[in-house]
Structure 1
Amino acid sequence: MSDVLVTAVAPRPTAVVPAVTTWAAFPRVWKGLLDQVWDELRAAGITRGCPNVMLYLDDVPHVEVGVLFSQPVPLAEPVVLSELPGGRVAMTVHRGPYATLGEAHDAVQSWCVAHGLPLAGPRWEIYGSHRDDPAELETTVYYLLTGPRE
């Protein structure tokens, strides 16, 4: 895993299915939500080029599962346009299997505590291109920050 960095990001448009779930149920439901988004995009003639994203708005969790997307095409509910937050973030790049992605979240949270940077709540993942070898997967993890600057 790379080091944790603090940077500013602009809001980024997404096409998502918003949901309220539990952490226990989320591993079983996210794929179905993402499939709904891709079904809509394929119906509009879009088959690739949109990285998958998962936005966790809080600890309930309220989530938005979908893709980075900015093309003007009609979408049918439950797929809606949304956006990833903009602002100051702490982020890292996780390289490896999704099963160890929690390590990246732990690293960012621990780093923020050690540096006195309060988390705003929303956090998200942007997934890199598919790779057959799990060791080659790359996921960028972002945490929106609040409070005073370093």
Structure 2
Amino acid sequence: MNIEIVEEAVRFHLYGIGGVVENKPYGEVGFRLMNELWQVVKSTNTPTTGINHWVYLSDGRMFVGVELRNPQPLSIPDPLEPLEFELERHMKHVHVGPYQALPQKWKELKAELATRGEVIGSPSLEVYGHYCDDPSKLETTILIGLQAKPA
């Protein structure tokens, strides 16, 4: 499994919809939030990059958002809200294959990080590539926030 520990910060400026995940049905909640997000984006002709970001926050919360093209404060449609965050240190892995394999991939990645002595921080996210009809070619970039290494 090809993973990279990234020591360089990456910043995200997303707009979307957040929700609480109860009993951990992340896929179900994520799809509901994503459908709400895209209904708003399409009905308001809001220009985006078209890339979905599923952000896993602390306390069982998640946020599904997109990057807007040239966002103007007065042009952000309700109920979209901003979410800005930075991953100072994180693990990066590109999953190629069906979305249904993602829960198992997360288990494998978390096990590998534990083996390496890494401590998972918050947030973590999935960045979905553009959709294609062949599930074996779908690309999802997984970024898992990591705590700083002790000096």
Separation (CA, whole Å) in 2 of partners of 1:127 and 1:149:
32
Q: Is contact 1:19–1:63 with CA below 8 Å preserved after alignment?
A: yes
For residue 121 of structure 1, what is the aligned residue in structure 2? 122
TM-score normalised by length of structure 1 = 0.85
Separation (CA, whole Å) in 2 of partners of 1:33 and 1:54:
9
Separation (CA, whole Å) in 2 of partners of 1:56 and 1:24:
11
Q: Percent identity?
A: 22
Separation (CA, whole Å) in 2 of partners of 1:116 and 1:142:
17
Instruction: Give the superposition deviation at 1:4.
Output: 1.0
Q: Is contact 1:94–1:140 with CA below 8 Å preserved after alignment?
A: yes
Q: Is contact 2:124–2:143 with CA below 8 Å preserved after alignment?
A: yes
For residue 76 of structure 2, what is the aligned residue in structure 1? 75
Instruction: Give the superposition deviation at 1:19.
Output: 0.7
Task: Structure 1: give runs of 5+ residues left out of the alignment.
Answer: none
Q: Is contact 2:48–2:69 with CA below 8 Å preserved after alignment?
A: no
Separation (CA, whole Å) in 2 of partners of 1:75 and 1:101:
31
Q: Is contact 1:91–1:108 with CA below 8 Å preserved after alignment?
A: no
Question: Considering only aligned residues, what root-mean-square deviation do their CA atoms show, in Å?
Answer: 2.3
Separation (CA, whole Å) in 1 of partners of 2:106 and 2:41:
29
TM-score normalised by length of structure 2 = 0.84
Separation (CA, whole Å) in 2 of partners of 1:83 and 1:131:
28
Q: 1:23 to 1:71 in 2, by over 3 A?
A: farther
Letter in 2 for 1:65: V
